[in-house]
Amino acid sequence: MIDLHTHSVFSDGTDTPEAMALAADAAGITALALTDHDTLAGLDRFMAMQPEVATLLVPGIELSCRFMDRPLHMLGLFLDFRDPLLAERIDTMRRLRLERNQAMLLRLRTRGLAITWDELAEEAPTDLISRTHFARVLVRNGAAGSAADAFRRFIGDDSPCYVAMPELQPREAVQWIRAAGGVAVVAHPGRGFPRGFRWDEAMLDLKAQGVHGFEAYYPDYGPLEERYFLALAHRLDMVPCGGSDYHGGHKPGIELGVGGGGLRVPDEILERLQGLMA
């Protein structure tokens, strides 16, 4: 059992990298990847835990991209997370996120929702502030009934206060990942795209851009969706990856390794991914 998609306090999760490594070891997970959103900040602490656990710890990231005018997330696994060029590129993304967040604050204020930067910082244990932290402040201040309500009415992709980041194109994200020695994998295809979207055609395009695989195992998938993506990975000779998308307390009911309870990502996928690193 492996889990190649998780988040810590360094993006929008609630657990420290150390706690996640120890929890994975206690659960008997063979390999665990930390893939925080658009940041490498937690990986030093995460990888420093390797001598203390039997679980293989995999350095990763989840990059925000734009594909066919929709948000697409790209996982980079087995990265050289100390690569200076990658660090420089990620720092540029950090500055762009800061500018986006300030623009969203302004839009919220024009609608009478005067939340402050200090309130956002209180919700974020690190300096990376995401829409999850916006949602928590909106709920705390009584402007929204729940995080889902905050996204639906104010900060979701199609909502009035949303400001898009200048996102990467998949080809560029793949170049960043591969230049740092990593493997590029599309996260949770099927999410954020309309029903009936032709993922067979899209994956052919993404494979031509250097993508190695995509998540065929994901907690939200039903049996039919999982079978579809497994068959598609086989047909296109791409790696069928998977992970829990664990966020700790921000996603109640999702546990490391097993997701909602039924997730099982086979260990042999790890060998296929490691074989692509050469």
Helix axes 131-140, 84-110, angle to 10 degrees: 30
Contact between 164 and 77 under an 8 Å Cβ cutoff? The reply is no
pTM (two decimals): 0.85
Average pLDDT per run of 10 along the chain, which is 278 residues long?
96 95 98 96 97 98 90 95 96 89 94 92 82 92 94 92 86 96 96 87 96 97 96 97 95 94 95 85
Contact between 74 and 178 under an 8 Å Cβ cutoff? The reply is no
Q: Which two tokens stand for residue 135?
A: 């949602």
CA distances from 158 to 89, 164, 204 (A): 28, 10, 28
Q: Domains of the chain by range and CATH?
A: 2-90+169-275 (3.20.20.140)
